């Protein structure tokens, strides 16, 4: 991808367009994939007979952490727990806005114990944690845009949880219905580029939800299903740099056209469990 992007930038009419994009320093919470495995099936990507190369997963994960740190972001880590193979997917643990933490209540019983360990980390770090009453899977389905929360539903997080989140944070929550089982979390179908724009795959959403997104973000970067299936929308942006799966080359080129700087990081071993870069990354917003 890097060479393709380089050639693309040389052909672009205004190669300095990215100079207007200002990165904001982020604080991320992650969990080492020491116990990562595919031991059960709770989404279409997962097959219990799939072999996971744990050494490769750890190497890919460390590459992601190094990429974050090289771009000026700080990274904290939760200690992984044996018997919780999906704990590496830190994004599902909570959503943090304005220093307030709204925790998780997983749909799958296999993942519910993860919440206790993340809650404990947040409490030790000095945060109060609000426990949801309805099924809620953190940043997997709840995306803070800087103005409101985009909230996914259809497969995991419920609309009842959306109402809880609005009451807790006091910010508008916009419910969006997901319709593609492979894109079961909002963060597989959409990500925030900056406070003014997003990238998303329209057909991942119901017609009404597509209409809402088109009104809110008329200049959004639109992705294809191929982009989404390559985990290109499970990306993390700091407003300038976009940490993205190298398999989503076409989306990276479109982002480059819009002045963002793709930073390819291969987390393909985690695709076996239906996760990628964003799934492994919880953002702590103070």
Catalytic residue annotation? 185, 279
Q: Cα–Cα distance between 209 and 215 in angstroms, integer?
A: 10
Q: Which residues of 141-171 are buried (b: 16+ CB within 10 A; e: fewer)?
A: bbbbbeeebbbbbbbbbbeebbebbbebbee
φ and ψ at residue 270, rounded to 5 degrees: -80, -15
Q: Mind spelling out the 3-state secondary structure of 77-119?
A: EECCCCCCCCCCCHHHHCEEECCEEECCECCCHHHHHHHHHHH
Q: Cα–Cα distance between 53 and 164 in angstroms, integer?
A: 39
Q: Cα–Cα distance between 143 and 263 in angstroms, integer?
A: 21
174 is written with which tokens? 């916009």
Which of 216, 224, 181 lies closest to 200 in space, CA to CA?
224
7 is written with which tokens? 């050639």
């Amino acid at each position: 991808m890097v060479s393709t992007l380089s050639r693309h930038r040389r052909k672009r009419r205004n190669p300095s367009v990215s100079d207007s994009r200002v990165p904001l320093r982020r604080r991320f919470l992650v969990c080492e994939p020491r116990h990562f495995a595919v031991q059960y099936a709770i989404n279409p990507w997962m097959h219990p007979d799939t072999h996971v190369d744990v050494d490769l997963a750890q190497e890919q994960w460390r590459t992601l952490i190094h990429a974050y740190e090289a771009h000026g972001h700080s990274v904290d880590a939760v200690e992984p727990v044996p018997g919780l193979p999906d704990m590496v997917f830190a994004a599902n643990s909570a959503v943090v806005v304005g220093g307030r933490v709204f925790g998780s209540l997983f749909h799958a019983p296999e993942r519910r114990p993860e919440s206790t360990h993340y809650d404990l980390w947040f409490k030790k770090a000095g945060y109060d944690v609000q426990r949801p009453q309805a099924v809620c899977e953190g940043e997997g389905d709840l995306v803070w845009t800087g103005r409101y929360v985009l909230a996914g539903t259809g497969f995991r997080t419920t609309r009842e949880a959306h109402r809880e989140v609005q009451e807790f944070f006091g910010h508008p929550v916009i419910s969006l219905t997901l319709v593609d089982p492979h894109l079961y979390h909002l963060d597989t179908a959409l990500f925030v580029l900056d406070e003014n724009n997003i990238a998303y795959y329209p057909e991942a959403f119901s017609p009404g939800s597509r209409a809402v997104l088109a009104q809110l973000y008329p200049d959004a970067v639109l992705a294809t299903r191929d982009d989404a299936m390559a985990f290109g929308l499970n990306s993390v942006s700091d407003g300038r740099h976009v940490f993205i799966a190298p398999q989503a080359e076409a989306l990276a080129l479109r982002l480059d056209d819009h002045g963002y700087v793709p930073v390819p990081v291969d987390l393909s071993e985690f695709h076996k469990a239906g996760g990628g870069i964003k799934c492994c990354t919880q953002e702590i917003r103070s």
